[in-house]
Amino acid sequence: MTVSHHPDRALLLDYATGALSEPFALVVATHMALCPACRHEVSAMEAIGGAMLEASTDCSQAQPEDAFARLMAHVEAVPGEHAASQPAINDPALAAIPRPLRDRLPASPDQMPWRRQGPIETVFLPCDVPGYRVRMLRIAPGRGVPRHTHRGEELTLVLQGAYSDATGHFGRGDLETADPTLDHRPVADPGEQCICLAVTSAPLRLTGRLGRLIDHFLDI
C-alpha cells in the first residue's frame, strides 16, 4: 500500500500540539496508523516542541549553539516506527480498520446500523463536539456520492477500496481535505465498494441540478 495524499503540515502541526479538534484528530490519527511518513513527521514535530520547551527553561545558561545542537539531537533521535503487539482479531472487517477508529466503533463494520441512501450507505458515530459530524460511508462499486460542496471543512479518509474526484484518485490510507472552494462528486472505483471515514465541521451543501432543489430538505 502506497499512501499518496496526506494532511498538510499545518494540520499535522495542530495534531502534534494538541490544537486540532477531537473529531479531526480522529481522522489524522487513523491516517497516521496507515502512513509511516506522517507518523515520523508528527514525531519529529513533537520532538522539536519538547526540545524547544527544554531549551527555554535554561536558555540563560546555554549558548545559542548549544541549544540548537540539543534541538537537532532530539529530532535525530526520533525512534523508528514499531507496531505495538495487538491481540489477534478474528473478524476480517474489523481487523481492516486502524486501531484509532476501531476503538471508537460500536460494532464490526458488517454489523453496524448502516442507513442506505441510493448507492451510498452511512452510519454516524458518536461526536460530542458541537457542529461536527463523524460518519462512515460505504459507496457501491462504480457509483458516486451526489455532487456537493462544503459549508465548512471536511476530512475524508479511505479505509477500503478507492474513489476519484476532480482533485485526483484516493486509495486506502489517502486523506482528502475539502472546504467551500471545492465542488466535487467522488466516484468509487469499479469492482470493490469504497469505505471511508468522513468528518465535517459544518453540513454539506448539495449542488448539481437536483441537489439544489432538495438540499434544504436534507440534513447532511
Per-residue pLDDT averaged across 177-206, rounded? 95
Mean model confidence pLDDT for the chain: 84
Do 120 and 210 have their domain in common?
A: yes
**Domain membership flag for residue 174:** yes
Of 76 and 26, the structure prediction assigns the larger pLDDT to: 26
Check residue 74 and give its pLDDT.
43
Do 34 and 128 have their domain in common?
A: no
Instruction: Quote the domain boundaries for residue 70.
Output: 9-76
Do 129 and 186 have their domain in common?
A: yes
SS3 state at 144: strand
**Domain membership flag for residue 66:** yes
Check residue 118 and give its pLDDT.
78
**Domain membership flag for residue 101:** no
**Domain membership flag for residue 88:** no
**Is pLDDT of 81 > 70?**
no
Check residue 53 and give its pLDDT.
61
Do 157 and 67 have their domain in common?
A: no
Identify the band that residue 66 occupies on the pLDDT scale cut at 50, 70 and 90: low
Residues 6 or more apart whose Cβ sits within 8 Å of residue 219: 203
**Is pLDDT of 120 > 60?**
yes
What CATH number did the domain enclosing 187 receive? 2.60.120.10
Identify the band that residue 218 occupies on the pLDDT scale cut at 50, 70 and 90: very low
Do 115 and 176 have their domain in common?
A: yes
Do 71 and 168 have their domain in common?
A: no
Do 68 and 160 have their domain in common?
A: no
pTM of the model: 0.82
- Looking at the 3D structure of the chain, how many domains does it have? 2
Do 68 and 115 have their domain in common?
A: no
Do 212 and 116 have their domain in common?
A: yes
Of 85 and 8, the structure prediction assigns the larger pLDDT to: 8
Find the range with the poorest average confidence among 23-32, 142-151, 185-194, 211-220.
211-220
Q: What is the pLDDT of residues 40-62, one digit of tens each?
A: 999 999 888 766 666 555 555 55
Among residues 185, 154, 180, the alpha carbon closest in space to that of 27 is found at 154
Of 194 and 85, the structure prediction assigns the larger pLDDT to: 194
**Is pLDDT of 6 > 70?**
yes
Per-residue pLDDT averaged across 121-129, rounded? 95
Please list the alpha-helical segments (H only) found in the chain: 9-17, 22-34, 36-57, 64-76, 92-95, 99-102, 208-214
